Amino acid sequence: MKTIKYIIFFSICFVISCTTSLPYSSLTKHNLREILSTYPKQQDHPDTAAIALLSYSKIEMLKDGTQIAQHIKRFKIFNERGYHLAKKSIRYREGYEQVKIFYANTIMSDGTIVSLDKKDIKDYSPYSEDELYTDIREKKFTMPGIEPNCIVEYAYEITSVKPTLPYDLFDYVFIQHRIPLKENILEIILPKGRALQMAYFKTDMKPSVRESDGKIHYTFKTLDQPEIISEPDMPEIVDRDVFPQYYCWTLGDWSIVSKWYADLTKQQMQSNAELELFTQELIAGQKTEKDIIRAIFYFVSQKIRYVAVELGPHTHQPHLAHEIFKKRYGDCKDKTTLLLVMLRIAEIEGLPCLVPSVPEAFDKSAPTIHAFDHVIAVVPKKDGAYYWLDATNEVASVDAVPFDAPRDVLLVNMDGSYKFIKTPAPDDAKDYADLQRSVIVKESGDVSTEDINYFYGKVAEDLRYEFKYMSPEKRKQYFEKKGMEVSNLELLNLTELELPFIIKVKGSKKNHVQKLEENVMILSDVVKIPTYDDLTASKTRKYPISFDTFYLTKRKHIYHFPQGYKLRTIPVNFKREDPFNEIQIKYNLAGNVFSIESKSKDFRYKIQPYEYDAFKNNALERQKYKKSVSNIILEKE
């Protein structure tokens, strides 16, 4: 081995004082020859870009509820695909958290040490170009001297001096990652009298626990974990039924969260004469409770711009309701607070609901404010149901379901009590797409088309929003990109949110029907059916295939053939009812008019690895059918 060299760019003021001790010092303090010779090589892990040699975190809660977190990371980067591990961003809240970096080094393959220069650490706002004004900042750096088979290491500390909610510690740990993990350690230290609660999934590991100097130390440790090798449509890493993981928390129950949030919100639910007068004028003449709710909800969702000013306490506390009204902007909690105050002026009870940021990972048994990143309002109905009012959704109707799949949300009463309620699923009778097309086929193979597409309920929202902010030319280009020469485009009910959004478009397509011979034409690829070709090429699966819900889609395409043409063969109707997809296709021929009608809907479902062969056989039947109808032949008599 070459002589080990030291290139030190790390100024002395950048290193924390010697009074701070770390359980794992920099490799530069040890015999590098011995250490480097023991580390894994690329041939030991041929499919991966790197290996995590060490991932260490220590979170200590102090008696006043503040926290100090130390993190040490060490990677061996095998090849260029692993270079992203040489970049690091440390997020913190200015004025609420403090960051110290202890060391950051690159150890090159020949043992040369290149240390990070303090001036190469950039401190900036990650949201400077967004409609978000925040004291969240990032210390960001990229390690120097990166090359294949180098090692990068860094250690840093984040001290919480003003916690969001004191004594709320929550940490989620995934035991496996996209690269192998040699040693993973989490240490949590609590003052005596504070209890750590834990939940485990797909693992039998448990922490070691010891008491020392009035503190309880919990240490979680896992070794030599293999990498997760990606497969198409595999579950997300938060899936507790598939990937080993655990999480820890310290709050005793959800009432701590609900009372805290209720107190924050009540302080800001302040009206004034201007807001009260405006609200009374807005609802004047509205005859029913629903009419009043509609008028207020549409005003807040459509006329109050979404702008997030999350400075100081306002990461979680709304601004004053009358200030939001005056400025005509706010984020989700601001808009919800204004909505609730206006409803109160109208003598209607509304309540806030906290919405989990990752619904699939949300656990009602693990209370923490860190689970949420969104707020909506609900108004109870007499039948026990609710109006679900997401004031940030400017294209939602007053009757809309809030999300595309059910999820648990935390309803907060103003007395600090709470309950969990589940949002409803979209309704196939109200939330669906109905796509209708009429095609006139010419002798040349060119076609003229007329589409009338109806989008109902929740299905309409994304398209409504997209088309609302498109210029007329962009709207036209939307269809031109699909190969249509547009002659007329009409949008109906773009802003009438309780009516279906209708898009009417007329146009033409060249050579849409292929003319093989003088009297033979082929209509190709007009039958839409999911065949899952991308999921059936592998011989085996290690992980499940994860399907998600998608709305009901109806289609009816009518083809008018030139006089004298007929189908060589009428396709056979098709129907499948699988747990992940239901589809039905019907054909009809009347004279020279040929129609294809279909219904299709996807469902949330997982195909387990042991079911993979059966799934492939299922998909094969779909593929065979699609090929059988991929070319529909027209012949002239």
Identify whether the C-beta of residue 419 lies closer than 8 Å to the C-beta of residue 363: no
Is the Cβ–Cβ distance between 342 and 399 less than 8 Å?
Answer: no
- Taking only the tens place, the pLDDT of each residue in 271-290 is 999 999 999 999 999 999 99
What pLDDT does 125 receive?
86
Q: Judge contact between 262 and 415, C-beta under 8 A.
A: yes
* pLDDT (0 to 100) of residue 20: 58
What confidence tens digit (pLDDT) does each residue in 326-381 have? 999 999 999 999 999 999 999 999 999 999 999 999 999 999 999 999 999 999 99
Residue 574's φ and ψ, nearest 5 degrees, are: -135, 140
Question: What is the model's pLDDT at position 18?
Answer: 39
**Mean pLDDT score, 58-81:** 96
Domains along the chain with CATH numbers: 6-249 (2.60.40.3140), 255-422 (3.10.620.30), 432-636 (2.60.120.1130)
Q: What is the pLDDT of residues 236-283, one digit of tens each?
A: 999 999 999 999 999 999 999 999 999 999 999 999 999 999 999 999
DSSP secondary structure of 348-416: ---EEEEEESSGGG--TTS--GGGEEEEEEEEE-TTS-EEEE-TT-TT--TT--SSSS--EEEEE-TTS
- DSSP conformation letters of 39-72: S--GGGSTT-SEEEEEEEEEEEE-TTS-EEEEEE
- pTM for the whole thing? 0.91
At residue 230's C-alpha, the angle toward residues 227 and 233, to 5°, is 145
Q: How far is CA 347 from CA 171, 279, 334, 353, 573, in A?
A: 41, 11, 20, 19, 56
Question: pLDDT tens, 33-61?
Answer: 888 889 999 999 999 999 999 999 999 99
Kindly calculate the radius of gyration of the chain based on its CA atoms and give it in whole angstroms: 30
- How would residue 7 be classed by pLDDT, with cut points 50, 70 and 90? very low
pLDDT tens digits for 405-422? 999 999 999 999 999 999
d(CA 519, CA 538): 43
What's the pLDDT band for 129 if we cut at 50, 70, 90? low
Q: Which pLDDT belongs to residue 312?
A: 77
Pair 376, 332: CB distance under 8 Å: yes
Task: Name the residue among 351, 348, 355 with its Cα closest to residue 372.
Answer: 355
Question: Which tens digit of pLDDT belongs to each residue from 299-336?
Answer: 999 999 999 888 778 888 999 999 999 999 999 999 99
53 or 525, greater pLDDT: 53
Determine the pLDDT at residue 311. 76
pLDDT for 492: 98
Question: Does the pLDDT value for residue 134 go beyond 80?
Answer: yes
Q: Is 268 helix (H, G, I), strand (E, B) or coil?
A: helix
Average pLDDT, the chain: 93
Whether 308 contacts 335, CB under 8 Å: no
pLDDT score recorded for residue 132:
76
